[in-house]
C-alpha cells in the first residue's frame, strides 16, 4: 500500500472518530484530486461496512454548478467513478448560482452548501465530508491576513464543524495526487484553479510558491499551525461572548434588541466587539469591522447618538436620557433595530 493511501485512510478514521462516528455520511466530490482521493479513502471503509468497529454507509454528491461548458459531463463521469468505488447512493445535483453581490466564488459556495445540506437531510446523513487539504487551510489564512480579518477567520477551517467534516486538513495537496495515482484514478483539474481572475487562484499558483521559494519550505505548515492555534482562541472567545450576550440582551419587541451601555462598555475589547456583532447577526445583519467600530463609539456617550447603519438593514443608536429623569438613572442603552 502506498504511504499516502495509508495516511488518507488514517485521516478519515480520525476525523470520523472526532465526529462521534456518524453511521451514514456523504462525500462531496467535484472529481478533482482532493475530493476524489477522499472518496477513495472513505470507500475503503464503505466496502467493509464499518470503520473503527462502527457501522458505516457512504454515499456521495456531485454538485454541478453549470458555470463551465461541459460541466454536466464532468459531473456524470465523476458519479460513475464514485459508483465503481462502491459508494451508494451517488447523486448529481445541478444548482443555479445566483449573483448576489458577494462575488462568483462565494455565490457558488453558497449554492453548493445548500445543495449538500439538502441531500444530507434527504438521506439522513450525519456528516458531509469535504476534501479541503492543508494547502487550502494555508491559503485561507493568507487571504485572511491580506484582508485584515479577525481571529475567527484566521482560525481557518475546522476538521469537524457542525455537519461538515474535513479529514484531510493535515494532508498536503501532493498527498491527494499520490492517492489518486496509487488507486488508478484520473482526477479532473478545474481550470478556474489556475485562472488569475480569482484571488484564491493567484494565491495558489503564484503567491504560495513564491513564499516557499523565498522563505524556505514549511510556510504552508506554519500557516496551518496558525489556524489551529487561533481557531482554539476564537472558540473560547466566541463562547465567552455568547455567555455574556445571553446575560445582557433584552428583547422588548419583535425586531428590536437592547444592550445595557455600561456593562457592555466594561467588557474586554475582544468580547465587546463580539457581543455587538451577535446583536447585529440576531437581527439578520452582516457586521463589518468598520460598522462595528462605529456602533462601539456610541458607548462613549460623546458626539452623535446614531443611528449607525449596518449592512443587512440593521441600525443601532444610543437610547437618550429622558427629560426629568433623576441623576443616576440608567440610560444610554444601545438599541438595535431590524428594518426588514
**Per the annotation, where are the binding residues for ATP?**
30-35
Q: Are strands 24-28 and 57-64 parallel, antiparallel or unpaired?
A: parallel
β-bridge pairing 164-165 and 50-51: unpaired
Q: Which residues pair with 91 in a beta bridge?
A: 61
Annotated binding site: 30-35
3-state secondary structure of 129: strand
Question: What is the rounded (10 degree) CA torsion for 228, 233, 238, 243?
Answer: 140
Cell 487571504 found at: 143
Residue 18 pairs in a beta bridge with: none
CA gap 170, 132 in Å, rounded: 9
CB atoms within 10 A of CB 60: 29
Euclidean distance between the first and the last CA atom of the chain, given in angstroms as a whole number: 58
Q: Are 120 and 90 in contact (CB under 8 A)?
A: no
- Residue owning grid cell 479532473: 188
- 3-state class of 297 per DSSP? helix
125 contacts 116 by C-beta, under 8 angstroms: no
Amino acid at each position: 500500500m502506498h504511504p499516502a493511501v495509508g495516511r488518507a485512510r488514517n485521516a478519515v478514521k480520525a476525523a470520523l472518530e472526532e465526529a462521534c462516528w456518524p453511521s451514514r455520511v456523504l462525500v462531496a466530490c467535484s472529481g478533482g484530486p482532493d475530493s476524489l482521493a477522499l472518496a477513495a479513502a472513505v470507500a475503503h471503509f464503505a466496502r467493509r461496512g464499518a470503520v473503527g468497529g462502527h457501522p458505516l454507509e457512504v454515499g456521495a454528491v456531485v454538485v454541478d454548478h453549470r458555470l463551465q461548458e461541459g460541466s454536466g459531463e464532468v459531473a456524470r463521469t465523476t458519479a460513475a467513478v464514485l459508483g465503481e468505488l462502491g459508494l451508494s447512493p451517488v447523486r448529481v445535483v445541478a444548482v443555479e448560482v445566483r449573483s448576489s453581490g458577494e462575488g462568483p466564488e462565494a455565490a457558488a459556495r453558497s449554492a453548493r452548501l445548500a445543495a449538500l445540506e439538502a441531500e444530507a437531510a434527504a438521506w439522513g446523513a450525519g456528516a458531509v465530508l469535504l476534501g479541503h487539504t492543508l494547502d487550502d487551510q494555508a491559503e485561507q489564512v493568507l487571504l485572511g491576513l491580506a484582508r485584515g480579518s479577525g481571529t475567527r477567520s484566521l482560525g481557518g477551517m475546522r476538521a469537524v464543524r457542525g455537519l461538515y467534516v474535513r479529514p484531510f486538513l493535515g494532508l498536503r495537496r501532493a498527498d491527494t495526487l499520490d492517492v489518486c495515482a496509487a488507486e488508478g484514478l484520473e482526477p479532473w483539474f478545474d481550470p478556474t484553479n489556475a485562472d488569475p481572475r480569482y484571488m484564491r487562484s493567484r494565491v495558489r499558483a503564484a503567491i504560495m510558491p513564491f513564499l516557499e521559494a523565498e522563505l524556505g519550505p514549511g510556510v504552508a505548515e506554519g500557516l496551518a499551525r496558525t489556524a489551529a492555534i487561533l481557531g482554539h482562541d476564537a472558540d473560547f472567545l466566541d463562547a465567552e461572548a455568547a455567555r455574556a450576550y445571553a446575560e445582557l440582551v433584552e428583547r422588548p419587541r419583535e425586531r428590536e434588541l437592547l444592550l445595557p451601555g455600561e456593562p457592555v462598555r466594561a467588557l474586554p475589547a475582544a468580547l465587546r466587539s463580539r457581543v455587538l456583532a451577535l446583536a447585529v447577526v440576531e437581527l439578520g445583519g452582516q457586521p463589518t469591522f468598520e460598522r462595528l467600530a462605529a456602533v462601539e463609539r456610541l458607548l462613549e456617550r460623546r458626539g452623535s447618538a446614531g443611528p449607525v447603519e449596518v449592512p443587512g438593514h440593521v441600525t443601532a443608536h444610543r437610547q437618550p436620557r429622558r427629560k426629568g429623569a433623576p441623576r443616576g438613572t440608567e440610560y444610554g442603552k444601545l438599541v438595535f433595530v431590524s428594518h426588514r
